[in-house]
Every structure is written in C-alpha cells, then in structure tokens.
Amino acid sequence: MLIYFLLLCCCFLISCDNNETTTVSNTTTKTVLRLHHANNFTIEKEGELTILSIKTAWKNAQDQFQYVLYPKGSKAPKHYPKALKIPVPVERIICTSTVDVAFLAFLDATDKIVALSNGTYVYNKKVQDRLAQGAIADIGGSNTIDYETALTTNADVALVYSIGDQEAYQKFNEMGVPAILLSDFMEETPLGRAEWAVFVACLLGKEVEAQAKCAQIAEKYQALKKKAASYTNQPTVLTGAVYKGTWYVAGGKSLMASFIRDAGGHYLWAEDESLSGVPLDFEAVYAKGVNADRWINTSNWTNKETLGASEPKYQAFKAFQEGQLYNYYKRVTENGGVDIFESAIVNPHLVLKDFVHLLHDEKLSSDSLYYYVQL
C-alpha cells in the first residue's frame, strides 16, 4: 500500500512538472494538465475549478462542449457562461454505454452507477449483479432510453455519446441531469482513448490516481510495442467479413489499424484515412486480401466451418486455408456481452498482447490470448 501511495505521489509530481501555467488575471492563474496521449480534450485548473473542454465531439462537429467542475457546496462560477457547471465530486451516475462502465471500473467506482442503458450486454460481473438486484436501474437501449425511469434515480450526471444526434444529451439536460459527452472514439491511438479515464476521473476527484494508472498502462503498452518492433517478419492482416452484402474493413486510422501496426503487422488498408469501418464490395477485398497471412474480426463468426459455409469464396483465402482466423469472442456473456467492447478501452496493452501473439507466435496455447480466440 505504501509503495502504491508513493507511486501516485511520484506520478502526480511528474505531471505537475509537465503542466503549463498561464495568468488569467492579476489574482488568478490557470494550469493546463499535460496529457501524454489523448488529443481530443483538455483539462485546466483555475483555483478550485476544473475546466474540461472537448475539441471535436464527433466527426465534423461544429458545436463546442465545455464543463466547469466546482466544489460541491460552493456557488457555481459565473465567468464561463457557455459551459455546463457541475458540482463535484459526483456520487450518482447514469451510464449509456458499457464503455462508461469500463472507465468507472478502472477508477474503482462502479458503485456510483445508478442507471444503465444496454445493460443486457454488460460484461462486468459486479455491475451485472447490481442490475439483477435492482441496485442499478435498467433504462433500455441506446435508442430507446427510458428517461422517466432514469429521472427517478436522482443522478448527478449522465455520461452520453453522440455521432451528431444530440437527443440524449439534450433530453438529460432538459430533465435537469447534466449530460457529459464522452468523445474518446475520436482519438487515433489506443493509449489516447484510454486516457479519457482521466477526463471521467475529474468528476470523482480521482484524476491523480487515473494519471498514475494510465501511466502504468502506457508503460506496458510501449514495452510490448518495442518487443513487436524487434520481429523482422510483418504478417499481412485482413479484417472484417461480409455483412448484409457489404464487407466492412477497419479504417486505416482506426484503433484496430493502430493495434496491428504496433504489434508488428502490415495492415492491408493502412493507407486509408478513415477512423471507422470502410464499406467495400467482396471483389475489392478479395483482390487485396486473398493472400493475407492473418484474418481477424470475422464479424459474428466464431467457427471456421460455418464461416466457410456462409460464403464458399472465403475458402480460397490463404488465412482460411492455413487456419489463421481470429475473433474477439473469448470473453463473452450468455447474453452476448463482449468484453473487448468494454474493458479493452482501458486495457489496450492486453489487446496489443493478443495481437503480438497471433501475429508472431508459431504455436498458440489456450492461455495465450485474452480477448481473442482462434476459429
């Protein structure tokens, strides 16, 4: 315990040394907390205030989102007229995504969750149990949120996502529940996305702890990346599968492309500029990917035989013939909750470890992979 405390103190001192201080007025200074990997938000300290600013909430977003956190029991500041003011630390949180659960689990704060949408698909056992016991209100799915039930939980804030549709954001605010956008999906690196844990931690007064834990994760990730760089062979990698007539491959700027690159692989669509999935026809993927060494993220397929039966042309792929097929279904609940869509956001080193194994190990054991499984 003492060692962990000293580590937190050291990380805090290091972060303070890297912070930038500017003068706001003759009596007030503002300190910018230095983030090491995230580029899509900023954290500023002004006296007892914490100012959180999101740079780009979603692709091509024009709206600006800023949150001013002030000590609970004190008066809300008046000199940030366009910002949403929130007294902290918060105690009761509505989550609208299992990713929110991952951030709070990372911060040992799942006990703060009072309502959750998409709860059917949550992987975290502690949260599953609290949902079953009624300690967490089930408020439906992303597009069918039960706002009336959510309101009965007396939540302090709601964590929401948006790709342009601000319905949930606006509805929660209209109800008197401050809605906070999480735009971690706009980050271009796995470590950048993980560092949004510090953004969430500010609501709880746990930013020092979050900075320390993120630094530990980054150290593990960079060590694996360095190891992968020592391999001379770079297997080529194909992603995705046909879904409703279209083959979606990961964009060249996506987190999946980052993992492949950092694990010492050559992603076939690395030159693409997209952050999300790229829709292609079968022939285009076949021409480029038929000789790929590895084939990962095979849609919802978990069995080689059924994959091949679903589309006989799949059987011509080199990766299919050599059994180099992998999907992220090792950690799945009975209800279909997939842990890689939850905890992986704060455990990018575990995803990278899987990729290093499946790209470079000649023989995989049953314990080699954490999120992935070989078809």
What is the mean pLDDT, run by run of 10 residues, along the chain of 375 residues?
Answer: 36 44 62 94 96 92 92 94 96 96 98 95 96 95 89 96 83 95 93 98 96 97 95 96 93 94 97 90 96 96 93 96 96 94 96 96 78 95
Tally of CB atoms within 10 A around 306: 10
Q: In the block, which residue shows the tokens 């059994």?
A: 323
* One domain for residues 144 and 260: no
* One domain for residues 349 and 244: yes
Number of domains, the chain: 2
**pLDDT of the residue at 3:** 37
Alpha-carbon distances, residue 368 vs 84, 347, 359, 363, 364 (angstroms): 46, 16, 12, 9, 6
Domain assignment present for 44: yes
**Closest of 267, 189, 263, 265 to residue 223, by C-alpha:** 263
**pLDDT of the residue at 164:** 74
Q: Rg of the chain over CA atoms, in angstroms? A: 22
**pLDDT of the residue at 13:** 35
Burial (Cβ within 10 Å: 0-12, 13-18, ≥19) of residue 374: middle
Of 149, 182, 216, the residue that ends a domain is 216
* One domain for residues 280 and 167: no
Write out the two tokens for 267.
């992603």
* One domain for residues 155 and 270: no
Residues sharing a CB contact under 8 Å with residue 189, sequence separation 6 or more, in sequence order: 37, 255, 258
CA distance 242 to 229: 32
Of 216, 251, 285, the residue that ends a domain is 216
**pLDDT of the residue at 74:** 95
* One domain for residues 208 and 246: no
Domain assignment present for 352: yes
DSSP 332: B
* One domain for residues 115 and 187: yes
* One domain for residues 176 and 278: no
* One domain for residues 51 and 95: yes
* One domain for residues 41 and 92: yes
Q: Which domain holds residue 300?
A: 231-374
**pLDDT of the residue at 7:** 37
Q: Where are the alpha helices (DSSP H) in 91-241?
A: 98-106, 125-133, 147-151, 167-174, 190-194, 196-201, 207-229
Write out the two tokens for 213.
């834990």
* One domain for residues 71 and 178: yes
Domain assignment present for 1: no
* One domain for residues 202 and 238: no
**pLDDT of the residue at 162:** 83
* One domain for residues 32 and 107: yes
Of 216, 240, 270, the residue that ends a domain is 216
CATH of the domain at 91: 3.40.50.1980
Domain assignment present for 360: yes
